[in-house]
Chain A
Amino acid sequence: MPRLGRSLLTWQAALWACGSLLLILGALAIVFFTGAPSTAAATLPEVTATDVTYGPDGAGVVVMEYADFQCEACARFSPMLAALRAKYGDQVQFVFRFFPLENHPYGMLSAQVAYAAHLQGKFWEMHDLLYKRQKEWASAADASPYFEAYAKSLGLDMSRFREDVNAQTTKDFITAQEAAGTEAGVNHTPWFAVNGTTLVPNDIGDFEALIDAGL
């Protein structure tokens, strides 16, 4: 019996030790594999004259974003991108591409609003405003009054704005960008690429590292 007892004790201790080791290794694997920014090569639609851009055409570095205005993760990155535009705006071209997600009720409408602002030269102002105020309009039963108020605050021509928001050409433009993005492999937002290399960043430093390397 003492021998059996010792054997059982050893077996149980080994099981507890192995179990604890598994937990720790699993946790470490998650910390390690999800901590570093990941990059990969991607083939994306070329930047054209119809794209919504910020910064000089033909810049050596192009930062591309596919985003949805109702996406909380996109809102989190918005101030970082604003800081990058301020820092690198004269050397880097920032391209915004519409990618409204179906599971966001106002994803498409907010994209239409931003595109309508773009047609009056106020895309980036509307872009920043939509993300800054995302919580108030995204949870509203009707987001339209908020969008109208934002457009007014930016001094847009309201009758033209309303017309552009609802125009079929606006919807077609957004849908075409979304379809092209899907074809290129975009499956989430925000989806970033720096000079054709996709980037899943954790913070602004991950962008800066790629941008600085390209300048």
Chain B
Amino acid sequence: MGRRQRIVRVALVVLALAGFLISFYLTLTHYRHGVPPCYVTSGCESVVTSRYATILGIPLSLIGTVFFVVMFYLGIALLTGSPKKVMQAYELLAFAGILAAVVLFLLQAVVLKAYCTYCLGTEVIALLIWAGSLVVASSGDGGVVAEAGPEPQR
């Protein structure tokens, strides 16, 4: 694995961790308070209390939390050597993530006309993860690395 590839894959793990923390915070807020405070510069409460914030009673933030945990571990798998199936799963989920992010952004911009800073943060992270997955996939070997890890000691 080249230096550039390694940096991108480390960045993907870090991004997934950041996405997890934000989503986990929103999930915790949902189950603990129900509503975050209303800030002067943000409509976070309008977004997270809207009818689009849950699917069948499950908060989207919880789905996001699970998504970022999966991306985190898949990202580690990419770092430690990436079987083809891991790479394919990563690409597929990253694409699903960006699709969901675009839909959620449009809901905020067009329907709710309010933005949640935390939600925007996770959407940007989903975008970066998708972009990163394209970089990994375009590495010439389709992102698949037979072996990874520290250089063998002589």
Residues of A within 8 A of B (CB): 4, 7-8, 11-12, 15-16, 19, 22-23, 26-27, 30-31, 34-35, 68, 71-76, 101-104, 182, 187-191, 200, 202
Query: Do residues B49 and A72 form an inter-chain contact, with CB atoms below 8 A?
Result: yes
- Asked, given contacts A4-B152, A26-B20, A30-B25, whether A19 binds B37 with beta carbons under 8 Å apart, the answer is no
Interface of A is mostly: helix
Query: Do residues B38 and A104 form an inter-chain contact, with CB atoms below 8 A?
Result: yes
Interface centre among A31, A104, A188 (most CB of B within 10 A): A188
Q: How far is the CA of A73 from the CA of B17 in the complex (A)?
A: 28
- Asked, given contacts A72-B38, A73-B35, A187-B40, whether A103 binds B114 with beta carbons under 8 Å apart, the answer is yes
Contact with A along B31-44 (1 / 0, CB 8 A): 01111111111110
- Asked, given contacts A188-B38, A190-B37, whether A72 binds B45 with beta carbons under 8 Å apart, the answer is yes
Considering only residues 107-154 of chain B, those with a C-beta below 8 Å from chain A are: 114, 147-150, 152-153
Query: Do residues A26 and B38 form an inter-chain contact, with CB atoms below 8 A?
Result: no
List of A residues within 8 angstroms of B49 by Cβ: 72
B13 within 8 A of A: yes
Query: Do residues B35 and A76 form an inter-chain contact, with CB atoms below 8 A?
Result: yes
Query: Do residues A26 and B21 form an inter-chain contact, with CB atoms below 8 A?
Result: yes
Query: Do residues B81 and A103 form an inter-chain contact, with CB atoms below 8 A?
Result: no
Query: Do residues A73 and B38 form an inter-chain contact, with CB atoms below 8 A?
Result: yes
Interface pairs (25), CB distance under 8 Å: A8-B150, A12-B81, A15-B79, A16-B73, A19-B13, A19-B76, A23-B17, A26-B24, A30-B24, A34-B29, A35-B32, A68-B38, A71-B38, A72-B38, A72-B49, A73-B33, A73-B35, A73-B36, A73-B37, A73-B45, A76-B34, A187-B41, A190-B37, A202-B32, A202-B33
Interface centre among B38, B150, B153 (most CB of A within 10 A): B38
Query: Do residues A12 and B80 form an inter-chain contact, with CB atoms below 8 A?
Result: yes
Give the contact-size bracket for chain B.
35 or more
Residues of B within 8 A of A (CB): 13, 17, 20-21, 24-25, 28-29, 32-43, 45-46, 49, 69, 72-73, 76, 79-81, 114, 147-150, 152-153
Cross-chain contact of B17 among A4, A26, A75, A182 (Cβ < 8 A): A26
List of B residues within 8 angstroms of A72 by Cβ: 35, 38, 45-46, 49
A188 to chain B, nearest CB (A): 4
A23 to chain B, nearest CB (A): 6
B15 to chain A, nearest CB (A): 13
Query: Do residues B69 and A23 form an inter-chain contact, with CB atoms below 8 A?
Result: yes
List of A residues within 8 angstroms of B153 by Cβ: 7
List of B residues within 8 angstroms of A7 by Cβ: 149-150, 152-153
